[in-house]
Amino acid sequence: MAGTTIQSIEIYKLFIELKEPFIISLGPQNDVQNIIVIIRTNDGCTGYGECSPYMSINGESIDTCFIVGQYFAKVLKGKNALDIAACVEAMDKTIYGNSSIKSAFDIALHDIAAQYAGLPLYKFLGGEKNKILETDYTVSIGDPQKMAGDAIKIKEQGFPAIKVKLGESKEKDVERIKAIRRSVGSEHPLRIDANQGWQTADKAIEVLKALAEYNIEYCEEPILRSRFMELHRVSKMSPIPIMADESCGDENDAERLIQLNACHMFNIKLGKSSGIYKGLKIAQLGAKANMSMQVGGFMESRLGMTASAHLALANDHIHHCDFDTPLMFTEDPVIGGINYLDKGIIDVPDAPGLGAVIDESYLNKTEKFIM
């Protein structure tokens, strides 16, 4: 395989405050703690990647990513940047898991490969701009009246769907959805995400049945991901379609869930799949099973979300997008990348590669590793 050699790798910590805490059933997040990876080749090409580790979901932090990324720099330096499969294999052989930091390297490699091909990333992945990407916007879990007020703002801003974080008791969660429905009406699309908070199949089924009358599009990850064997029963008994999130990390998880007939949909996140290379495999499996899918994320900036948007254009079975978190930042460190248009519409760049870079002023003031 003709290629271009990885000459240097840079790893940066990126800290940005959120406008207000982002709260899910697994706990609150008050700021962004991400990793930026920059890969440079011997012929002058530069690729950018980003990950947003989530300790309670993928078991990584900004500090673990920073250290493990240095292991990857050592094994990838000098390799062919265009042989993404070999680079992914090298990372997997270096350390098990660590899907978040692997995704940052994977995105940077795809950025280089698409630039080398002279194509925007979505075209390099075999996609087309044959559909409109629209993002929902998320309401954090909390006081029902606060959540209802936030939902009204989201509707007034024109977002096509509202995603609501739940995952506590049946009484509290029903009260939350009831308050939101009173505020936004019965027809505005609502999606819910328990983030494993209902834990058991019996409790999840009980809550989902209680929420049936509120016109919910689908529910993400109702039970503990360790109980994936029970997810089939939840999906069968629930009046609301079930989307696997935390229980669907990589293509092996996706294949297992399909064999178990465990869920109706997948939520693909690059920080779970280890990046685009394996994220595409999940999408292909889901498409073969005729499943509708979503591409989401953690707390990535517009750089990481741009990679996710390119992926969303690469498979016709990806119908939903959850790309709202960059709108929660107090600062935007990205030059280029996706643009947020009216009514939640996402405009994806057509420049070769990812089409997004990080403003160097953010990188100059943070901790870094360069090899």
What is the pLDDT at residue 3? 75
What is the pLDDT at residue 161? 98
Which regions of the chain carry the CATH code 3.30.390.10? 6-120+358-370
| Per-residue pLDDT tens over the stretch 225-256 | 999 999 999 999 999 999 999 999 999 999 99
Q: Which of 165, 221, 246, 324 is catalytic?
A: 165
What is the pLDDT at residue 1? 59
| Per-residue pLDDT tens over the stretch 250-300 | 999 999 999 999 999 999 999 999 999 999 999 999 999 999 999 999 999
Q: Where are the alpha helices (DSSP H) in 241-299?
A: 251-259, 270-273, 276-288
Contact 106, 277 (CB under 8 A): yes
Active site residue 168: no
Q: Which of 102, 163, 269, 278 is catalytic?
A: 269
Contact 275, 107 (CB under 8 A): yes
What is the pLDDT at residue 20? 93
What is the pLDDT at residue 25? 84
Q: Which of 50, 106, 221, 245 is catalytic?
A: 245
Neighbours of 202 (CB within 10 A): 14
The three-class DSSP label of residue 249 is coil
User: Per-10-residue mean pLDDT for the chain, 371 residues long?
Assistant: 88 96 88 97 97 94 98 98 98 98 99 98 98 98 97 98 97 98 97 98 98 98 98 98 98 98 98 98 98 98 98 98 98 98 97 98 95 96
Active site residue 193: yes
Which regions of the chain carry the CATH code 3.20.20.120? 123-354
What is the pLDDT at residue 223? 98
Mean residue pLDDT of the chain comes to 97
Q: How far apart are CA 199 and CA 227, in angstroms?
A: 8
Q: Which of 50, 60, 111, 193 is catalytic?
A: 193
Both tokens of 243, joined, read 């989307």
CATH superfamily of 123-354: Enolase-like C-terminal domain (3.20.20.120)
Active site residue 165: yes
Q: Residue 48: name the closest of 352, 364, 319 by CA.
A: 352
Q: Residue 246: name the closest of 199, 314, 301 by CA.
A: 199
Task: For domain 6-120+358-370, give the CATH number.
Answer: 3.30.390.10
Active site residue 106: no
| Per-residue pLDDT tens over the stretch 55-73 | 999 999 999 999 999 999 9
Q: Which of 50, 60, 150, 220 is catalytic?
A: 220
What is the pLDDT at residue 27? 84
Tokens 């207000």, residue located: 20
Active site residue 220: yes
Q: How far apart are CA 362 and CA 246, in angstroms?
A: 31
